Structure 1
Amino acid sequence: MNLDMSVVVKYIPFLLEATFLTIKISVLAIAVSIIVGFVFAMFKLSQYKVLNKLSDLYVEIIRGVPLLVQLYLLYFGLPQLGIELSAFVASVLGLGLYAGSYVAEIFRGSIQSIPKGQMEAARSLGMSYFQAMRKVILPQAFRYSLPPMGNQLIITVKNSSLCSIITANELMHSTSRFASVNFAFLEFLLVASAIYLILTYAISLMVKYMEKKLSV
């Protein structure tokens, strides 16, 4: 076996630049997923059946279609309708909307895990429904949702590798390009694997730290 890691050394700055883009895409995507997920979680918990059905429809469709197909639709499909997105924007939207379907269920489950008596107690103190949600229910639900949200962030970072298919110049795209030029696929893939492992492990440590700080 001929393994020459020295061929990777001169490409490290470019791989780190691509890693930064991977982090940027993942962070923005998880921000989109939090917004979208919270909205559809509220729809699901609403007393209006139309909003309930809309939330169910979103979750079922997004979960039922592979992420790669959704990225293709955003990047290659929308231009046929006159809507052109850059690879970066398509990546953020694709990952964000996909993760949002899971985040919606995370938020819904976390909110429903809070005893109903707490909402009733808050309302009896004169709080409106929205005040009770903001000051009593959501802070507790956030703490409960932290571990699965951490897992979702890790999944989003790993899913970002699919964005290489739509030419987003993130870590996997750069790795594939440099590996094919130098005919050193094993070397570059080992380095990329190490970088992904470092990213996901750092996220795990961050989530554990936040759990510890927020523990009662």
Structure 2
Amino acid sequence: MAGITLNFDFVEQYRDRIGSGFLLTVELSAASLVASMAIGVPVALGQSARVLPVRYLCDLYVKLVRGTPLLVQIYLFYYIIGTAWGIDNKVVAGVVILSVFAGAYIAEIVRGSLLSIDEGQLEAARAVGFTRAQTVRHVVLPQLVARTLPALTGQFATIVKDSSLLSVIAVIELTQTIREITATNYNFFGGFLLLGGLYLCLTLPIMFVSKRFEKRFSYAHEA
């Protein structure tokens, strides 16, 4: 292939570093998913709030985050906002950045699912004497879970891939680990081919689970 020799001998030599980078990517992604859910759900509810300032602030947050590249947000937060707030830990900064970014997308997923619930079902619940809490528990939540879970699972795969951009602020996750190794052995082709394979090891199972959820809940809706 154009004089390129495929060589993975470095994997054994750097297995501990690669393993640490892989584990940090998993930890960053998992922590960011939890934190982004904690951001996205309240924002989705805030977008439907009757208090106009709350609604406008939530809408502004979603529009700003979704309308600007993640790379720009990483630089802006880490070098300006993070410095002003005294956040020196790059891993913590990375989780905050990914969470704020993914939170806007999760907010739209949840908001769209809430809007898709038939108003007639809520009226029927009130007609049979359900309280507001019972309506949420027995009518809203089951449908909300069914409609958001596949998309949220897919969003987790996106978070995993987006975590690679944290290498620009030298978070030693998987991408930065491979960049440092290839800078030493100059095996760029082998290194980044391995990198792609390791990300696939993370994202393919997640996408498989997402597809399973889609099929399962689509069958439930048809039934």
TM-score using structure 1 length: 0.92
Determine which of 20, 43, 56 is the counterpart of 2:59: 56
Relative to structure 1, is the Cα distance of residues 85 and 64 closer, same or farther in structure 2, using a 3 angstrom cutoff? farther
Identify which of 57, 75, 98 aligns with 1:95: 98
1:141 equivalent to 2:116? Answer no
Of 61, 71, 76, which aligns to 1:73? 76
- What letter corresponds to residue 67 of structure 1 in structure 2? L
SS state at 2:71 partner: helix
Give 1:37's aligned residue. 40
User: Which stretch of the first structure deviates more once superposed, 13-22 or 129-138?
Assistant: 129-138
- 1:79-126: per-residue Cα shift (whole Å, max 9, x none)? 542422411111111111101111101001111111111111222333
Query: Is the CA contact (8 Å cut-off) linking 1:74 and 1:85 kept in structure 2?
Result: no
State the alpha-carbon separation in 2 of the partners of residues 22 and 174 from structure 1: 10
Match of 2:202 in 1: 199
2:184 aligned residue: 181
Matched, 1:208 2:211: yes
Whether the 8 Å CA contact 2:87–2:93 is kept in 1: the answer is no
Q: Does 1:16 align with 2:40?
A: no
Q: 1:75, 1:173 → 2: CA distance? A: 17
C-alpha RMSD over aligned residues: 1.8
* CA distance in 1: counterparts of 2:132 and 2:195, whole angstroms: 48
3-state SS, counterpart of residue 66 of structure 2: helix
Change (3 A) 1:82 1:208: closer
Match of 1:68, as an amino acid? Answer: L
For each residue in 1:58-90, what CA deviation from the matched residue of structure 2 results, as whole angstroms up to 9, or x when unmatched? 111111222122222332213542422411111
Change (3 A) 1:45 1:131: farther
Match of 2:50 in 1: 47
Alignment of 1:84-123 (within 5 A): 84-123=87-126
Q: CA deviation at 1:12?
A: 2.5
Distance 2:24 2:134 in 1: 38
Q: Counterparts of 2:83 and 2:144 in 1: how far apart (Å)? A: 42
Gaps of 5+ in 1: none
Q: Is the CA contact 2:151–2:210 (under 8 Å) kept in the aligned structure 1?
A: no
Conservation of the 8 A alpha-carbon contact between 2:82 and 2:93: no
Q: Deviations over 1:114-173 (max 9, x none)?
A: 111111122233333344223311221111112221221111111000011111110001
Equivalent residue of 1:45, what SS?
coil
- Runs of 4+ aligned residues of structure 1 deviating over 6 Å after TM superposition are none
Identity across matched positions, percent: 35
